[in-house]
Amino acid sequence: MNHRGETAAPAALPAVPLTLEGSSVLHQMFRIRRAEWRRQPAEARERMLAEAEAALSGMGAHSALFHVLGHKADLLVLHFRRSMEELGEAELAVAGLELAEYLEPANSYVSVVELGLYESSRKTYESLAEKGVAPHSEEWNRAIEETLGRQRSAMAARLWPEIPDSKYLCFYPMDRRRGEEKNWYRLPMAERQRQMHEHGMVGRRYAGEVRQIISGSIGLDDWEWAVDLFADDALVFKKLIYEMRFDEVSAVYAAFGSFLVGLRLQAGGLKGLMEARRAK
């Protein structure tokens, strides 16, 4: 494949696509120290649960709890906030709960909701190039800011989302590969845009069944992106991700981290998870 620009002009365009950023996101995964928890007197457990539920429900639709299947974690607490600083406060708010003594941190992920604008990056870059505007010149920067500003308003709801109220969560981090032969970051933008578009087409067929929130984590955590999928049927996660794995962008350029499935805990559900006693 010929990846080097065929004409001089496109080769000089920026390689990085425009992105919009919204909520700062923290995934906290905990193991529950149930043996220690159970040794506490019933009234102490009730008091700690009441404090925790008040604090967590006070966070509204910007924090949510999930029962994670398997040994990787028991509880996932998901926070969407206005800034990294507020994420720090949310983290301390959880750590400050009396109940936190019975939660052992097992994993976490720090990221920022991101919309990748491959389509409009390509259009804007090409149109500016046709007008002879040099990349990173003042005029260029002004035009880019205008484009971003327009999209930022249009996409506010996707940039600052509430946590969907679905039954199941699927979470995983991922990278784009930089292999010796197959290196995503060396592909020309038009080729990356084409592959991302094809990838998006698969997702669109699942639109009614899955809600997807992508967050970026380059410079913030160990993978480049994180994916949260929300659905009422966990099988849809498997079907969607399996189908996408055959897309060129996934088959060739995706590296995946660890996958987690969680069951949404509704208000009052924390007690059942801490106690691990089924209602009799």
With respect to its own copies, which residue has the nearer C-beta, 46 or 248? 248
79 within 8 A of 59, measured Cβ to Cβ: yes
- Is 252 an interacting residue with respect to its own copies (CB under 8 A)? yes
Binding residue for its own copies, selected from 46, 149, 156, 179, defined by CB under 8 A = 179
The closest of 157, 159, 247, 170 to 209, measured between CA atoms, is 170
- Is 142 an interacting residue with respect to its own copies (CB under 8 A)? no
The closest of 121, 126, 95 to 30, measured between CA atoms, is 95
Question: Is-catalytic flag, 172?
Answer: yes
- Write out the two tokens for 210: 């899955």
Residues 38-57 that bind its own copies (CB under 8 A): 38
- Is 16 an interacting residue with respect to its own copies (CB under 8 A)? yes
* Catalytic residue, candidates 109, 168, 172, 253: 172
Q: What binding mask, one character per residue, do residues 74-113 give for its own copies by CB under 8 A, x or -?
A: ---------xxx-xxx-xxx-xx---xx---xxxxxx-x-
Measured CA to CA in angstroms, residue 264 lies from 63, 76, 186, 213 at distances of 11, 9, 40, 16
- Is 263 an interacting residue with respect to its own copies (CB under 8 A)? yes
Binding residue for its own copies, selected from 82, 131, 142, 182, defined by CB under 8 A = 182
Count of residues that interact with its own copies, criterion CB under 8 A = 86
Only segment of 41-49, 144-152, 157-165, 251-259 that touches its own copies (CB under 8 A): 251-259
- Is 205 an interacting residue with respect to its own copies (CB under 8 A)? yes
- Is 34 an interacting residue with respect to its own copies (CB under 8 A)? yes
243 within 8 A of 251, measured Cβ to Cβ: no
* Residue whose pair of structure tokens reads 């507020």 in the numeric block: 86
CA dihedral 227, 231, 237, 241 (to 10 degrees): -50
CA dihedral 223, 225, 228, 234 (to 10 degrees): -70
Q: Active-site residues: which are they?
A: 172
